[in-house]
Amino acid sequence: MKTKLKLTLAFVAIFIFGCSVNAQTYTASTKSSIPIEMLLPQGKSKALILSFDDGNIADRHLVKLMNEYGLIGTFHLNSNKLGTKDYLTKEEIKNLYKGHEVSGHSANHPSLPSLSKVDVIYEVLEDRRELERLISYPVRGMSYPFGNTSDLVIEAISGLGIEYARTVGDTYNFNMPTEFLKWQPSIHLFGKTNYIPNDTANDRKELGQFYQLTSEFLNSKSLALFYVWGHSWEYEGPGNKWAEVEKFFKMISNNPEIYYTTQIDLVDYINAFNNLRFSVDKTMVTNPASITVYVKMDGKAFAIEAGSTTNLKQSE
Ligand SMILES: [Zn+2]
C-alpha cells in the first residue's frame, strides 16, 4: 500500500511540475512572438515635423507665426547666401531660430549630383562649419538643394557628421523614415500654388489635397509622422498664402496627441528605440540612451527610462 501511495504521489508531482513547466514555456514563447512597437515621447503615436529651406527674409514672419502657435521647425540654411539680397543676415539667425533647429542646405545651393566628390564635401562641411560658428551648436543634418541626391552624393556625405538628409519627393503618407539620408517628406506646404500663381482652380485642388492629408493625419490611429516642408518665400507675392499658412498652424497646433519635434530630435529618438537591449524572452529591456523611450507590446504602453533596465512583466 505504502509503495503504491508513493508512486501515486510521484506521478501527481510529475504531473503538476510538468504542467507548470509547460505553462511557463507557453507564456514565454507567446510573449516572445508579440512584436515590440515604437511609441513616440510621452507614449504618443503622432509626430509633426515642419521643415523650411533657404533662410529667406520671409522666415522672419514664418518663425513669428510658428512661435505664436507654439510650433517647432527645422530650418535648412545656405551659409554663403546669408547676408546677400533677400536672405537673412548672419547676425540674426541665432536669435531668430531660438528653440528651433538650424540645419544644413549646402554652402552655395548647387545641385550636388552635378559636382565632383571633393566639391560635395566642401559644400556640406563649409556649410556646417559656418552655421556652427553662428549658432554655437553642432549642425547634424541637412536637406538637399533642389531635393537632388545620388548614390555618390550619399557616399560623399556619409562620413561628414550628417545624420539625416531630406529630399523633396513627397510620399503623401505618414511613414517613419527607413533611410535617414534618403528621407522623403509627406507633403509640400502649398508649393504648387506658388509656381502656378493666380490660378484659383489649381489653388483649390492643391489646398484641398493638403487639408485632406492634414485631416487624415489628425484622425490617424496608428504610428504616424506628418512631415511638411516648404519655403517661406512661397507664401509671399501675388498669390499670398500667409492666411492659409496660419489656418494650417491653427489646425495642427496645441494638440495633446501630437509630438512636436525638430528633425534631429526624432532621429535621436528613433536611434534610442533601435538601441534598446531586450532579453531573449522580452521580459527585460535596457535603455542605454539619455532619453526615455516608449514602447507598446500586446496593446500595453511601457516607458523605458533613460539609462535603466525595466522589467516589462512587473510593469504589466
Ligand atoms: Zn533650397
Identify the structural domains of the chain with CATH numbers, from first to last. 41-268 (3.20.20.370), 277-316 (no CATH)
**pLDDT value of position 194:** 72
**pLDDT value of position 269:** 98
The cell numbers describing 167, all together, are: 529630399
Whether 15 has a pLDDT exceeding 90, the answer reads no
Measured between alpha carbons, how far is 164 from 267 in angstroms, rounded to an integer?
8
Sheet with 36-39: list strands edge to edge: 36-39, 293-297, 300-304
Cβ–Cβ < 8 Å for 115, 123: yes
Which of the two residues, 7 and 33, has the higher pLDDT score? 33
**pLDDT value of position 196:** 73
**pLDDT value of position 32:** 66
Whether 225 has a pLDDT exceeding 90, the answer reads yes
Distance of CA 207 to the CA centre of its chain: 24
Q: For the chain, give the number of residues.
A: 316
Whether 17 has a pLDDT exceeding 60, the answer reads no
pLDDT category at 84 given cuts 50, 70, 90 is very high
165 CA to middle of ligand 1, Å?
13
33 CA to middle of ligand 1, Å?
46
202 CA to middle of ligand 1, Å?
23
59 CA to middle of ligand 1, Å?
13
76 CA to middle of ligand 1, Å?
8
Q: Which of 9-23, 178-192, 260-274 has the lowest mean pLDDT?
A: 9-23
79 CA to middle of ligand 1, Å?
12
DSSP state of 30: H
Task: Find all residues with CB under 8 Å of 254, minimum gap 6, and list them.
Answer: 69, 70
Task: Find all residues with CB under 8 Å of 31, minimum gap 6, and list them.
Answer: 281, 282, 283, 298
227 CA to middle of ligand 1, Å?
17
**pLDDT value of position 13:** 41
The cell numbers describing 234, all together, are: 512661397
109 CA to middle of ligand 1, Å?
6
pLDDT category at 112 given cuts 50, 70, 90 is very high
The cell numbers describing 239, all together, are: 498669390
**pLDDT value of position 204:** 87
192 CA to middle of ligand 1, Å?
15
Whether 29 has a pLDDT exceeding 80, the answer reads no
Phi–psi pair at 277, nearest 5 degrees = -105, 110
144 CA to middle of ligand 1, Å?
7
* Mean pLDDT value across residues 136-153: 98
Whose cell is 528613433? That residue is 270
141 CA to middle of ligand 1, Å?
14
Q: Which strand (E) or helix (H) includes residue 195?
A: helix 191-195
Measured between alpha carbons, how far is 99 from 290 in angstroms, rounded to an integer?
20
The cell numbers describing 244, all together, are: 492659409
30 CA to middle of ligand 1, Å?
50
**pLDDT value of position 31:** 54
CA distance readout (Å), 238 to 199, 207, 241, 242: 11, 17, 9, 11
